[in-house]
Structure 1
Amino acid sequence: MARLAFYATLKSPRHPVPSGEREMARNLFQALEGRGHEIALVSEFRSLEKRGDARAQAALIKDATQEAGRLIAAGNLAAWVTYHSYYKAPDLIGPAVCDALNLPYLAIEATRASKRLGGPWDRFEHYAAGACDRADVLFHVTARDAVALRRHLRSGQKLVPLAPFLARTDLPEQARPDGPTILLVGMMREGDKLASYKIAARVLRRLPPGNWQVEIAGDGPARPQVQAAMSPLGDRVRFLGQLDRGGLDLAYRRACAFLWPGVNEAFGMVYLEAQAAGVPVIAENRDGVRDVVAPDGLCPVGDEQAVADRLQALLNDPVHRAARVRAARERIAARHLLGGARDTLWSALSPLIPEAT
C-alpha cells in the first residue's frame, strides 16, 4: 500500500469556513480514497496572500520552506497531489518535497497567470508557474484553465480534464416544489459574491407580479448589503442563513428554480448540487460557469431581462421546467459524480506508483 500526500494551498478540507473551495478539496480527498492506498492530508499550511504584499509573501515562503523541510525529513510518501495552486496561493511546498524525495507530482486546478508577472504577485506567480512546470500530470477543471496550461506543456507532461464533481455516486432525491420558489445560495462577502447578489436582486425586480417567493441560503459580513439590495422585494424574500448539509438539501428540494449570476466563479459547486436535485439553473454565460451549467440555463452577461425571461419560463411553463429537470439530472449523472472523477484521477496516478495495481 502506497502513502500519497494531499495538500490544498487555499483551503484545507478541515478549514472551518464552508465554501465551494473547501467542498471541492473534500471531494478530491474522497475521490482519491477507495483504491487501497493511504491518502494523507500532510499539511494545512495556507499560502494565501490577497494584497500583493511582498513582505507577507516573503514570510510565507520562509514558513513554507520550514514546512517542506519537516515533510522531507518525515519521508514515507509515494506521490504528491496538490489542489488549486495559483498566483495568490501557490504551492510553496509540494515541488520542493517532490524534488527532494524524487516523487511524482500531480496538480489539480493549477493555473498560470502570466499577466501577474512584473506586478505585486510576481514572485508568487513564479512559484505557481514553477509548480505547473514540475507537475507530471496537470488536471484542469475548466476549459479556460486548459488554454494557458497547454501553451506551456512540456514533453512527457500530461494535461487531463477533470470535471468538477459531487462526492456521491448517485443522484439525490429529486426536488418536489410546492410552489414557485426561487433559490439563491452564496456566501455574503464583498466583491464577486456581492456583485452576484446585486445582479440577482435587479433580475428579480423584473419579474411580473405573481405568487413566487425567494429563499436565500448563506451568510457573511456583507449580509446588510445583500438585505438592502433585496429590500424592494419585501416579504417575498426569506433569508435562511448559513445552512448545514441537511438544511441545504432541503432548500434544494423546495426550489422550483436556482438563480445565481456567477460573477467570476471558478465553476461553482452550488450549480452541480442544484442540478443534481433537479432544480434548473439560470446563470450568466461566464467562464467556468459554462463548464457546469447546460447551455439552456445560460444568458448573455449583462442582459438582466434575458435572465428574468428564462426564470419566468421556469415558473410558468411546467412542460418546459420538466424537460429542464430531466436534462439537469442526466447531465450530472453523466459528467459530475464521484465514480467518474475517481476513475479519471487514478487512470493518471496509478502508472506513477509502483505499488498500484
Structure 2
Amino acid sequence: MLGAGGPPLRIVPNGIRPRPPGPAPRRPRDPHVLFLARLHPRKRPEAFVEMAALVHREVPGARFTLYGPDDGSLAAVRRLIAAGPADVVRYGGALDPAEAHEAYRTAAVHVLPSVDEPFGMTLIEALAAGTPVVCTDTCGIADELSRRGAALVTDGSPAAMAAAVRRLLGDPELCAGMARAGRRVVEDVYSIGAVVDRLEEIYRGGAADEPPARGTTPLPAGTRPARNPAT
C-alpha cells in the first residue's frame, strides 16, 4: 500500500559494471562533443544542435555528434543541422553497446539536454569512461553529480549548455578533475557493487523493524544467517 499509511519508499539507483579506468593522467581529447540518447522530444536533441552552433562561434575546431535511435525528433534535428554551419554537427545513427562505449571513451564532453530525466543512465556510462558531462538541473541525479564535482549542471538553455561546454573544452585540468570525480561517484554510488550494498542496507533495516518470529533468536548486528548448503 502506498500513501501515508504505507511503508517508506527507498530510492535505489541503477548500477553498471565499470570497465578498468583509462591511463592516468587523463590525456587531452580532441574537441568532440557527444549526445548519446534516444532522439525524443524530452531528450531535446534540437537543443544540443542549437548549443553546438553557439560553441562553434568561439571554438571553431569543435565537432558534435548525435547518436541514438529516432524517437520522433530526427526530422527536426536534420533540419537544424542543414541550416547550421557545414561539417560541424552530424547524426551517426544508433550504436550497439561496444560502439557506445567507444564513443564515450573518445569524446571530450557528453551533453544530456533532457528535462525531467528520472535518472540519466548515459551520464553514468560517460563518467565511467572518464568523460566529463553536462546536464540540466531537472535530471534526477544532477544534485549528486554536482555535489561531487562530477558534472556541470545548467538550466538547460542552449546558451547555458554552450557556456559549460566551452569551459570544459578550454580547461584540460578541469576535465581531468571531473573525470576523476566521475569515476569515484560511479564506483561509490552507481556501480553494481554499490547498488548491492545499498539493497542489503535496506533489507537489513527492514528486517530490524520486524519482531523476530516465534521460536527464533535475533542475529547480532552485522552478521548474516548461515546458508543451507542443500539449497
TM-score, normalised on structure 1? 0.51
Aligned position for 1:301: 155
One-letter amino acid of the counterpart of residue 10, structure 2: V
Maintained 8 Å contact 1:256/1:280: yes
Deviations 1:226-271 (A, max 9, x none): 2222331421223221111100011011100011112221111001
Change (3 A) 1:289 1:229: farther
Q: CA deviation at 1:176?
A: 5.5
Rounded to whole Å, the distance in 1 between the matches of 2:68 and 2:163 is 25
Which residue number corresponds to residue 12 of structure 2?
162
Q: Which runs of no fewer than 5 residues in structure 2 stay unpaired?
A: 214-224
Quickly say closer, same or farther: Cα 1:215–1:272, change in 2 above 3 A.
Answer: same
3-state SS in 1 of match to 2:10: strand
The aligned counterpart of 1:312 is 166
**1:330 maps onto 2:184 in alignment:** yes
2:122 is the alignment partner of 1:270? yes
**SS of 1:160's equivalent?**
coil
Please give the alpha-carbon distance, in whole angstroms, between the structure 2 residues aligned to 1:154 and 1:356: 34
C-alpha distance 176-225 of structure 1, shift in aligned 2 (>3 A): farther
Cα root mean square deviation, aligned = 2.7
Letter matched to residue 73 of structure 2: A
Number of aligned residues: 201
What amino acid does structure 1 have at the position aligned with 2:5? Answer: R
Q: Which residue, 99, 106, 131 being the options, matches 1:279?
A: 131
SS state at 1:250 partner: helix
The structure 1 residue matched to 2:47, chosen from 199, 202, 214, is 199
Answering whether residue 97 of structure 2 is matched by residue 249 of structure 1, we say: no
Out of 30, 37, 49, the position equivalent to 1:179 is 30
Tell me: higher relative CO, structure 1 or 2? Use CA pairs within 8 A at least 6 residues apart.
2
Residue 345 (structure 1) shift: 2.2
Aligned residues with identical type, % of pairs: 25
Alpha-carbon separation, structure 2, partners of 1:252 and 1:173: 13
Normalised to the residue count of structure 2, the TM-score between the two structures is: 0.75
Relative to structure 1, the CA distance from residue 224 to residue 303 in structure 2 (aligned partners, 3 Å threshold; closer, same or farther) is: closer
Query: Residue 326 of structure 1: CA displacement?
Result: 1.0
Check 1:244–1:292 CA distance in 2 against 1; reply closer, same or farther (3 A cut).
farther
Q: 2-side partners of 1:292 and 1:245: how far apart?
A: 25
User: Where in structure 2 are the equivalents of 1:55-66 lying within 5 Å?
Assistant: none
Aligned match of 2:197: 343
* Residue type at the aligned position of 2:54: R
